[in-house]
A and B are shown apart, each in its own frame.
Chain A
Amino acid sequence: MALLLLASCGGNDQGQTTGADTLAVIDNPKESELIGVGGRFFSVPSPMQAAMAIKEAGLKYQKELAIPLEKGDAATARMSQALMLGAYGADMSYATVHKDAQRALATLESIERLGAKLELSNAFDKALAERFKANKGSEDSLMRFSGMAFRAADQYLKSNDALDVSAWMLAGGWVEGMHLTLADPAAAKNAKLVTRIGEQKGTLDGVLALVDGSNVDGQSNALLMGLKELRSAMEGVKTTYVYEPPVTDAAKKTTYINSKSTAEVSPEQLAAIAAKVAALRNLILS
């Protein structure tokens, strides 16, 4: 049954608008189901933010922490390819933020090859690589290109009934961001980074919901189990939140969210979290 989609609406500047004035017909019920009706959606923080936090904490850049570049070529299953592609996205962010343009570009080439296997050449193509090469001196430009490319890939996947691939990519990127943060023993001595790990208890709930929600054929069972074990390891992390009234500067179109939060992670909890993240990463690499 066709569903009318009203792509609203010009005319409101004349103050006459009472309804939508442009109509289009969606004749594919599956597609309308895909985009959800009044549903819940979960966001996973960009792995770029994990890379930035690592750099700001002053941890040493160690490119050997990233996934070996040839590893992606060995991935044959769609799930493995998608997890690896997401993880490479985090590795590329890590290299970019640390101004290792050569490694970032080499990682992009691995992403491009995996992207082709997953039919994501619209997002990761030679043109993107050329833009990277042309802007390799500008960290900000590279970070932006990367974000745009991953968003284009996500849009393509969500528009083509591939929610499982989208979820795997996001999960792979998040796990790799956690790995890059935790793999250096110096992280355990950095209060800000330890807090950042603890703050992602809620994020993990979102990752779990994404993977679980797209696990129609049981392919993600092992991944889900690993994520649930990590969630158990994070259960004891003590978080607090105190609401403070926000302040809005309308002229700057900015609202300052002043609420305060804390996340306390004990050394034992951190070790348990690191072990579960390592297990999840092994799953991605297997």
Chain B
Amino acid sequence: MTRTLTALLFVAVAGTASAQDICQGIASRCEKHITSNYIPDGQFYRALLQGDEMAEFNLTLFGGATYRVAACSGETDGNLVFSVYDTSKERNLLFTNKDHVNAPFWDLAIASTLDVVVEAALDPSKAGSGCAVMLIGFKR
């Protein structure tokens, strides 16, 4: 009941908030996970997700580097599930934050260069739709 009232109040106050505003707030929070020892890759990735929709991010990860992947949605950490697969026919799962309480960031230390696909989806137990933001940093 309280949550419903909060939601209605937010709509009344915010009126027609834009996706841009909402994604901006999420991005600002997500940036904090790319800490000062990582160099941002210079790109901003976002997708509007509804229900069980999934966004797919295609990346090349270079050998010898460690990448920090931060994935955020909503007002708190842990709302976005992301999984990293290789691009082989078998599509091997390399990592999923599902195994780590939907951790909002994770480091991938790469031995040898590979192309990967990062799939991101909202945790259905926490959100029905929302703006998904992914940020990437790297270090030598």
Contacts and interface: CB of A to CB of B under 8 A. Distances in A.
Contacts of B50: 37-38
B6 A35 contact: no
Contacts of B106: 253-255
Contacts of A254: 66, 106-109
Interface string B68-86: 0000011110110000001
Given A5-B48, A38-B49, A246-B94, A257 B61 contact: yes
Nearest to B105: A253
Nearest to B100: A250
Contacts of A147: 39-42, 137
Main secondary structure of the interface of A (DSSP, over half): mixed
Interface stretch (A61-69, A198-206, A214-222): A198-206
Contacts of A1: none
Interface in A247-284: 248, 250, 252-261, 263
A27 B21 CA distance: 12
A252 B108 CA distance: 11
Contacts of B15: 25
Interface of B: 3-4, 6-8, 10-11, 14-27, 36, 38-50, 53-63, 65-66, 73-76, 78-79, 86-88, 90, 92, 94-95, 99-100, 103, 105-115, 122, 125-131, 135-138, 140
A23 interface: yes
Interface stretch (A7-15, A103-111, A112-120, A223-231): A7-15
5 contacts: A8-B73, A8-B128, A9-B126, A150-B42, A257-B109
Nearest to A241: B88
A26 B14 CA distance: 11
Q: Is the interface of B mostly helix, strand, loop or mixed?
A: mixed
Contacts, number: 259
B2 to A, nearest CB: 9
Contacts of A36: 46-48, 55
A136 interface: no
Nearest to A31: B19
Contact of A154 (B43, B73, B131): B43
A18 interface: yes
B35 to A, nearest CB: 10
Nearest to B7: A23
A68 to B, nearest CB: 23
B74 A20 contact: yes
Contacts of B65: 49
A12 B74 CA distance: 12
B114 A9 contact: no
B111 A259 contact: yes
Given A20-B128, A26-B16, A155-B27, A257 B94 contact: yes
Given A8-B79, A199-B62, A258 B41 contact: no
Given A20-B130, A39-B56, A155-B27, A49 B138 contact: yes
Contact of A19 (B92, B107, B113, B127): B127
A21 B6 contact: yes
